[in-house]
Structure 1
Amino acid sequence: MYLSENKVKYIFHHLWQHVRIHNLEPHSIIIVNDCKEIPPYLENKIIFIQSSQAHPEPFEIIFHGKKIPILFGTKDPNGEIYHFDTKGNLIFRHDLLSSAFYLLSGQQEIEVEQKDQHGRFPFELSIQKKLNFVHLPVVNYYFEIITEGLETFAQNHNKKIDRLRLFDSFAFFLSHDVDRIAFHHPFYVLYRLKQFLGLSPSNLSKSKIINLFFQGLGYNLNPFKKEDPWWNFGKLINLEKKLGIRSTYFFLKREDGFKNSLYHYKNKKIKSLISTLKKEGFEVGLHGTYRSAEDGQNLSFQKQEFETATGTKSIGIRQHYLRFSHPHTFKLQSNAGLIYDTSLAFAEHDGYRNGYCLPFHPYDFETDQMMQIWEIPLVMMEVSVLNYRQASFEELKQAVNHYIQEARKFGGLFSLLWHNCRINDIETPGISEFYTKLLESIIEEKPQSLRGMDIYKRASTFEQRPPSDIFKLI
């Protein structure tokens, strides 16, 4: 896959956040198509071979004991990962640049036209599913391979090289999508009756449904009722403060009925909650409605409505249902004045949708250039594990431990979305205690606990562009 000059710049821009060689001369890096021979006049250069394959033809290599898929090969896919020739050139034989671009840019989402019932790119059709590597930040591994090669080059040519890490250990980004706030809302009480009568779908038994119906009915008739199980924000705030966590809450406005929330931003309880969160140092942001992923006017209106009602400027967003159309939704978000998104995850499976465990810039295929908005990738949503995958609490915890170790390797981040309405022992016995212990175990790993706005600020301050003349395509 021959990359355009802008696509190569895009990859080097992100690679430059991991490693920098000082005092490189112009055109020290040469990109050569695999249909051509390496020019004999090249000396002391860093050479990347580009594959002529139009689509991924993956094979595996073993790197630091792990099987890493290379998506685009060259004439000699079974050769060394990199080597030096007699003229002092460092030559990367595998097409790591195209492989990294394919994942990081989301190119596979452009190529796959089929979407799921919610208009999302389906995990089932992803290359991560096909090759079973959704659990690995493969782009980070590509960059690590390149970095190790560059370190050897710098040593051989007496050049200074710096390894860089955005986070000393790893960052923990906890967020909550505030979709539902009233478990016993009359709407849900009526809906459970419809489920019992077979008029609406349900995975619960008839006895469980009718039990929940009568609980809801009794709750609404009781003048001395306790706090609703989904209005658990006081407990969440106190737990996170105790553990030294400051999370990000994304709020969803009422629109289009059941697919969205049943509250408005101007609701007194919501405004009071947002005020409390801000006062306690938490971040509040926009949870874009179901329609907003494809409707820019709608998105801009709800952002303005949110800011007017709450007196809070929203710089971050997560799209409801993780609905996303790449790169269209990014453009709508940018036009609305949003600075970062954190929607990119597979709804059906935890892991790395773009193969990367750090913030990154998306790519605009329509204009062939890097976009300025930031993506903070979502690594795990509790619904993906407990509902879609039907995994146990223990399996979820094991997955969290795995992603923490991957983040630690690369100075990356582990991001966890846990809905407030999914910490309800009535629906899922034992989940409150499990959630508490899970957060405690994460904090025991000593991460930097950061809000989305902190991660964006840190990444944008850390960010440096490589010299514009550092590479040449031939």
Structure 2
Amino acid sequence: MYNILQQDPEMWHLFTCKEEYDASFRDGYDRFPHYMSNNRQVFEPRASQYLFERGYHPEYPEGQPFAVCLTHDIDVVYQSYPKKGFDLLLALAYGNRAGLMQGVRNLRSPKYPLCNFEEVIALEEEYDATSTFFFLALQDGDQDHSYQVEDLACEIGTIADYGWEVGLHGGHQAYADLQKLKDEKARMERVLGRPVAGYRNHFLRFRVPETWELLDQAGFLYDTTFGYADCVGFRNGMCYPFRPYHGRKHQEIGIVEIPLTVMDCTLDSYMRLGSMQSWDIVRHLIDTVERCHGVITLLWHNTYLTGDRMKFYEKILRYCREKGAWMTGGDGIMKLLNP
């Protein structure tokens, strides 16, 4: 892969993220945003297309034409009692019987409905798909601490028993702090009862190439943080998993990156797209990845897997199944396509 890309300086600079090494501006979360990038063709995986045209053709199980890496970040699982009470009163005011029954169930469970992992698994099973769930393992006082991962041991065990993967969703500071990475990984592994292979950082906080180096040192096998928060698409022109290349040390970094293509909230919160516009762009990205036998990585939070947003996710699954895609979690991609 490296030898092919190095033949074209433009492709090599795109792949290695040369522009990010000395970037003087980063956003409030220390992220390099797309609006500061020179990559104005972000909806086209130009580096992967270049590789494909020169004979790099990944293969998938049973000859499937491309792959979909399905992932879920679990930021929140508890719903406050005032919010539950408001929903119940709203259902009562509108005479919504189904809403009333749902509201009563919500009051009885501190985690319902955001602890919807089995519903997500059941939906994905209908489409012969699996996925990866990334859980936070934060301490009291950490930014955005909203649950103790130990309290979800039963749910996490159920996910693993079904055969779905559980990974670590690193906290706000972990992307730049080796000890935090190690501590959060160890805590997650104690709950899971097995090693954790996959990683994604909270808020997609990431630094090229430092975060890749730290993740490798912490013992992760793959990362899937690498994507823009403010725009969907292909950050370094890649829709293939790859081992990052350190542009200053001129050497490979020993971790697999499964680049992130689409985050749910990027579409509506950052890009401010409606449902029809969102579908058009997601469909374009799927079709584009299919043409070069690549991998499209999707991030759908559990908070986006209810109501109409769940229907949107199912629409994606249906479209990809109709195209014959292999739909799996990060562990499946890593094991098959480990460069």
Preserved CA contact (<8 Å) 1:252 1:260: no
Counterpart of 2:284 in structure 1 is 402
Please say if 1:181 is aligned against 2:77: yes
Counterpart of 1:11 in structure 2 is 2
Please say if 1:449 is aligned against 2:327: yes
Q: CA deviation at 1:367?
A: 1.8
Counterpart of 2:95 in structure 1 is none
Structure 1's 411 and 144: CA in aligned 2 closer, same or farther, altered over 3 A? closer
Please say if 1:322 is aligned against 2:204: yes
Counterpart of 2:312 in structure 1 is 434
Structure 1's 421 and 259: CA in aligned 2 closer, same or farther, altered over 3 A? farther
Alpha-carbon distance in structure 2 between the residues aligned to 1:341 and 1:265: 20
Preserved CA contact (<8 Å) 2:241 2:258: yes
Query: Cα deviation per residue 1:156-205 (whole Å; 9 max; x = unaligned)?
Result: xxxxxx663334400011100011111x236xx5xx8xxxxxxxxxxxxx
Counterpart of 1:245 (choices 99, 104, 129) is 129
Q: CA deviation at 1:314?
A: 0.6
Q: CA deviation at 1:449?
A: 1.3
Please say if 1:282 is aligned against 2:177: no
Alpha-carbon distance in structure 2 between the residues aligned to 1:424 and 1:143: 38
Alpha-carbon distance in structure 2 between the residues aligned to 1:374 and 1:346: 18
Counterpart of 1:137 in structure 2 is 45
Counterpart of 1:164 (choices 40, 43, 57) is 57
Q: CA deviation at 1:438?
A: 2.9
Q: Which letter maps to 1:109?
A: E
Alpha-carbon distance in structure 2 between the residues aligned to 1:250 and 1:382: 15
Q: CA deviation at 1:436?
A: 2.4
Worse-superposed segment, 166-175 or 436-445: 436-445
Query: Cα deviation per residue 1:92-112 (whole Å; 9 max; x = unaligned)?
Result: xxx962111111111111131
Alpha-carbon distance in structure 1 between the residues aligned to 2:156 and 2:45: 34
Alpha-carbon distance in structure 1 between the residues aligned to 2:193 and 2:178: 22
Counterpart of 1:121 in structure 2 is 32
Q: Which letter maps to 1:336?
A: A
Structure 1's 257 and 436: CA in aligned 2 closer, same or farther, altered over 3 A? farther
Q: CA deviation at 1:233?
A: 1.4
Counterpart of 1:46 in structure 2 is none
Alpha-carbon distance in structure 2 between the residues aligned to 1:366 and 1:389: 33
Preserved CA contact (<8 Å) 1:170 1:412: yes
Preserved CA contact (<8 Å) 1:283 1:451: yes
Counterpart of 1:470 in structure 2 is none
In the superposition, the TM-score normalised over structure 2's length comes to 0.88
Counterpart of 2:177 in structure 1 is 295
Q: CA deviation at 1:411?
A: 1.2
Matched residue pairs, number? 326
Preserved CA contact (<8 Å) 1:115 1:122: yes
Preserved CA contact (<8 Å) 1:11 1:100: no
Q: Which letter maps to 1:164?
A: H
Please say if 1:378 is aligned against 2:260: yes
Identity %: 30
Matches within 5 A, 1:162-311: 164-167=57-60, 168=63, 169-182=65-78, 184-185=79-80, 189=82, 224=108, 228-255=112-139, 257=141, 259-267=143-151, 270-311=152-193
Q: CA deviation at 1:331?
A: 1.2
Query: Cα deviation per residue 1:1-51 (whole Å; 9 max; x = unaligned)?
Result: xxxxxxxxx721x65xxxxxxxxxxxxxxxxxxxxxxxxxxxxxxxxxxxx
Alpha-carbon distance in structure 1 between the residues aligned to 2:158 and 2:16: 38
Alpha-carbon distance in structure 2 between the residues aligned to 1:388 and 1:440: 25
Q: Secondary structure at the match of 1:399?
A: helix
Structure 1's 311 and 221: CA in aligned 2 closer, same or farther, altered over 3 A? closer
Preserved CA contact (<8 Å) 2:216 2:253: no
Alpha-carbon distance in structure 1 between the residues aligned to 2:108 and 2:227: 42
Structure with the higher helix share, 1 or 2: 2
Query: Cα deviation per residue 1:329-366 (whole Å; 9 max; x = unaligned)?
Result: 11111111001100011000100001011001112234
Alpha-carbon distance in structure 1 between the residues aligned to 2:50 and 2:111: 50
Worse-superposed segment, 251-260 or 234-243: 251-260
Matches within 5 A, 1:97-116: 97-116=8-27
Alpha-carbon distance in structure 1 between the residues aligned to 2:88 and 2:246: 48
Preserved CA contact (<8 Å) 1:166 1:412: no
Alpha-carbon distance in structure 1 between the residues aligned to 2:202 and 2:13: 25
Across the aligned residues of Structure 1 and Structure 2, the Cα RMSD in angstroms comes to 2.8
Preserved CA contact (<8 Å) 2:243 2:256: yes
Alpha-carbon distance in structure 1 between the residues aligned to 2:22 and 2:220: 27
In the superposition, the TM-score normalised over structure 1's length comes to 0.64
Preserved CA contact (<8 Å) 1:379 1:416: yes
Alpha-carbon distance in structure 1 between the residues aligned to 2:178 and 2:111: 37
Structure 1's 397 and 221: CA in aligned 2 closer, same or farther, altered over 3 A? closer
Alpha-carbon distance in structure 2 between the residues aligned to 1:391 and 1:292: 31
Structure 1's 225 and 266: CA in aligned 2 closer, same or farther, altered over 3 A? closer
Preserved CA contact (<8 Å) 2:200 2:225: yes
Q: Which letter maps to 1:458?
A: L
Counterpart of 2:275 (choices 380, 393, 407) is 393
